[in-house]
Amino acid sequence: MKFLQLFGRMKSVVIGMVHVKALPGTPLARLSVPEIIEEACEEAEIYSNAGIDGVIVENMHDLPYTFHPGPEVCACMTAVCAAVRRCCPSLPLGIQILSAANHQALAVGHASGLDFIRAEGYVFSHVADEGLLDACAGELLRYRKHIGAERIQIFTDVKKKHSSHALTADVCVEETARAAEFFLSDGIILTGTATGVQADPHQLRGESYCLSACSVPWPGAQ
């Protein structure tokens, strides 16, 4: 049970988000890389000192998002994540690279000693803000194997926020979660409809078997 080994329990795990300032080459970029790293480490240390269970480092401010973030984003995220790892050596750490840059997140996490990634578009297709996003489970797990990063867990979004799910309107949350479990997801993430909006508690209760079987890392994560 990799999830249990990482967090020490299976339920009531709280994960904080370090929203990295806009990276070089993105429209809102203002800070130098050392300044970005310093702010990210300060945020991570606040979470760690507060006793939070883990942290995800995310390039939240790289608006508008693209499915093809450049090599400069991956390079900067590696520098940020390695620095956060050094300042919080015992805290479970993960990464998400927007948008849906799951292969890049695995590579950065592997290089910087992280524990997990948050992956978008793992099973089924949906229409995101950025466009049509197809499933990636087969290619992503093969890539994890190829680079020797099997220790990095992959937590996967289900019916993700900021998206239209008309393409899968006949596939409920439970069926989507079961598909993620069948495709070897290490944990699933059920969000609300937007950042700051909690997940529907009725969906959480209704899919309790599947969610438990998948070892949900943080029900209602934002």
Of 12, 76, 83, which is closest to residue 44 (Cα–Cα)?
83
pLDDT tier at 9 (50, 70, 90 boundaries)?
confident
Digit-coded pLDDT (tens) for 151-183:
999 999 887 767 777 787 888 888 989 999 999
Strand 54-58, strand 126-128: pairing: unpaired
Rounded to 5 degrees, φ, ψ at 41 are -65, -40
Q: Does the structure show a pLDDT above 90 at 188?
A: no
Map tokens 């480490």 to a residue: 41
Q: How far is CA 33 from CA 16, 63, 175, 176, in A?
A: 22, 17, 42, 38
- Domains in the chain: ranges and CATH: 1-119 (3.20.20.120)
- This prediction has a pTM of 0.86
| 97, 59 contact by CB (below 8 A) | yes
pLDDT of residue 112: 98
